[in-house]
Structure 1
Amino acid sequence: MKKFIAGFVLFITILFINTPEAFAYENITVVIDAGHGGSDLSQEAQTGAVYEDGLIEKDVDLITARAMYDELSQYPNLTVYMTRNEDTALSLEERIDYAASVGADLVVSVHYNASSDHLFYGSEIFTSAFGSCYTTGFGVASCIMNRFKEYGLCDKGIRTRLNSENLDYYGVIRHGKDLNVPVIIVEHGYLDNPL
């Protein structure tokens, strides 16, 4: 599984650097958010999924985010920040407050999925359901998902999800919309699938 993760991180980096649409504009500020992290929050909030072989989602999120940061930082028209560079606990609001403070045009929240029967597969991306956050999020998500499909990953869709109050379900997306910072959550794949 760990060899798979190393290969997958490289694959994800290649996807981002070979997406010309993502670099069609000048002076874009992107914040890469390595999901979960730290030990100050609830167990699931701090770790994300924990897999049978001891793999912890927050660690894979951080590895992927660092690889993306290292690659994207090489482009002169991109300014790239990370919400965390180590195993640090941050609330969803702190992540977006930081992104707003650096003038982010987009936040990419890095995650991996898991399922109870360990047989699900595919990638999905979540974005806000509202206004310019939807337009920007859906546009970038479409570019990323098209690259995923070109490399043979299953497209589980670009989704919006609302809570019972008809607001964005995911707190990081909801707070991004409140501050007019588009956020996408990229669920790269299911790390608990043995295939």
Structure 2
Amino acid sequence: MKLYLDPGHGGTDPGAQGNGLREKDINLDIALKIRSLITSQYENVSVKMSRTSDTTKSLTQRTNEANSWNADYYVSIHCNSFNGSAQGYEDYIHSGLADSSQTARYRDILHTEITKVNQLRNRGKKKANFHVLRESTMPAILTENGFIDNNHDAALMRNESWRQKVAQAHVDGIARAFNLKKNDSSPSPSPNVIFRIIAGSFQSRKNAENRQALLANNQIDSFIASVTISGKVWYRVQAGAFTSRENAEEHLTIVKRIVSDAYIVQEQR
């Protein structure tokens, strides 16, 4: 199965903005998580992404690339905005398609899986004449994962574990729609091991707070935890924790764009 993942916007196009967040960043993080999850959990899945970093790419370039690659499914990840009061999740297929079409059936499955876990108001299944839905030659869906200018939705978007949960729900939907086979050979993460992303360790709490503020300004959640090493107290800035090392390394690449010396610590829980 060939999956084309399209994190909307990017580069010079930030997409929707609100509550200190940029749509292009949320879209990319969710899409990277989808790629990591689906390739590690299922067999015979190839993933191509329209972008894997903060780069500019036209809509035509995206659909041409997916079409040339002969993708089986096009999934475009987005967030919404309106006036601050609107909130919730909705997804789209092309307006010219019937509710009985294969594309609609795929969408029905993804919609069910995503709305089960995303803690967002369900705004329903919709249709539109969006470029990526119209010009892609394979079944395509565009998901709008909350309203970035709404306080409730934005609070969820800031949470790394929520973005992970939403990514997993997309994967669960795609797997059901395409009858993907679980990758039984992949090792299960140990429930007693956790991989923490450390974005700085300081003896001065003020320095740790400055690092935390830098991460927050770049839409990366973190918190400060104190640890004692050789009798000295250090203030450690943690920017994520994962039971899967692969997922931890995926997130580390994002953190390293802001803090180049960030690293992973493996600990027993």
RMSD: 2.0
Distance 1:188-1:146 versus aligned 2 partners, 3 A rule: same
Distance 1:145-1:48 versus aligned 2 partners, 3 A rule: same
1:47 aligns to what SS in structure 2?
coil
CA shift, 1:96, in A, is 0.9
Map 1:4-15 onto structure 2 (within 5 A). none
Runs of 5+ unmatched residues, structure 1 = 1-27, 40-45, 162-168
Structure 1 residue 100 corresponds to structure 2 residue 57: no
Runs of 4+ that moved beyond 6 A: none
Higher strand proportion: 2
Aligned residue type for 2:62? R
Structure 1 residue 159 corresponds to structure 2 residue 119: no
Structure 1 residue 141 corresponds to structure 2 residue 141: no
Aligned residue type for 2:52? N
Aligned residue type for 1:80? V
Q: Which residue of 2 aligns with 1:36?
A: 9
Distance 1:134-1:141 versus aligned 2 partners, 3 A rule: same
Task: Tell which has more relative contact order, 1 or 2 (C-alpha 8 A, sep 6+).
Answer: 1
Q: Which residue of 2 aligns with 1:171?
A: 131
TM-score, normalising length from structure 1?
A: 0.70
Pick the aligned partner of 1:193 from 137, 150, 153.
Answer: 150
Aligned residues: 150
Partner Cα distance (1:99, 1:29) in 2? 10
Indicate the percent of aligned positions where both proteins have the same amino acid: 29
Q: Which residue of 2 aligns with 1:68?
A: 34
Partner Cα distance (1:155, 1:139) in 2? 18
Runs of 5+ unmatched residues, structure 2 = 153-269
Distance 1:133-1:146 versus aligned 2 partners, 3 A rule: closer
Deviations 1:58-97 (A, max 9, x none): 0111111101111111211322111101111111111011
Q: Which residue of 2 aligns with 1:51?
A: 18
Pick the aligned partner of 1:85 from 43, 47, 52.
Answer: 52
Alpha-carbon contact 1:29-1:104 (below 8 Å) kept: yes
Deviations 1:87-145 (A, max 9, x none): 111111110111112210111000001121x1222111111133599823312221121
TM-score, normalising length from structure 2?
A: 0.52
Distance 1:188-1:64 versus aligned 2 partners, 3 A rule: same
Larger Rg: 2
Q: Which residue of 2 aligns with 1:150?
A: 116
